[in-house]
Amino acid sequence: MDIIETIKEQIANNTILLYMKGAPNAPQCGFSAKASQAVMACGEKFAYVDILQNPEIRANLPKYANWPTFPQLWVAGELVGGSDIITEMAADGSLQALIKDAAAKTGA
């Protein structure tokens, strides 16, 4: 399967998906740490892809998403953004609302 198809499938099959460096409980960069903490604080299950273990995804996702950096949070098939946007949304409560709403719609 072509890597873009793999990325599309990951996004389609996971309501809440975080592309990050490392894992949520062992992030490999400060931005990924902030983002994963904010998403975990929402209290819903989410999937993640460690881009350090997936160099093809790391190379191709920025082109597909038209977003150059990691982490990248995808909710209900839409790119939410990176670390700054995620932490801003967490601070104003909109991240929790978005994630809870998406999880409720899919039973995630």
Mean pLDDT for the chain overall: 96
- What is the sign of the dihedral through the CA atoms of 59, 56, 12 and 50? negative
- pLDDT over 90 for what percent of the chain? 95
How much is the average pLDDT of 86-101? 98
- What is 3-106's CATH number? 3.40.30.10
The residue whose two tokens read 């082109």 is 63
**Domain spans of the chain, in order of start:** 3-106
* 1 has a pLDDT exceeding 80: no
Do residues 92 and 44 make contact, with C-beta atoms less than 8 angstroms apart?
Answer: no
Tell me the per-residue pLDDT of 28-70, one tens digit each, with 9 for 90 and over. 999 999 999 999 999 999 999 999 999 999 999 999 999 999 9
